[in-house]
Amino acid sequence: MAPRRQMATAIVLTVLGLFVSLMTHVVGQHLAGNHVGIVNYTHLFAESAGVLGGAAYIL
């Protein structure tokens, strides 16, 4: 782990991870013209839970 600025690093990586997950599973699918359904939102939720769990572990 980074010896300094752990909280800032965790927050930045969490926000970035949530943004990439949202773009991949929901926004990107809308822009591609695909149907966004429960599977997309389930993947978004699972990845978000993983990112938040990782941030909680660091903090």
- pLDDT computed for residue 21 by the predictor: 95
C-alpha Rg value of the chain to the nearest Å: 14
Q: What residues have CB less than 8 Å from 21, skipping those under 6 apart?
A: 43, 44, 47, 48, 51
pLDDT tens, 3-53? 788 888 889 999 999 999 999 999 999 999 999 999 999 999 999 999 999
> What's the pTM value of the predicted model, to 2 decimals?
0.83
Residue 1 has pLDDT above 70, yes or no: no
Cβ–Cβ < 8 Å for 9, 55: no
**Please, what is the Cα angle at 49 between 35 and 10, to 5 degrees?**
120
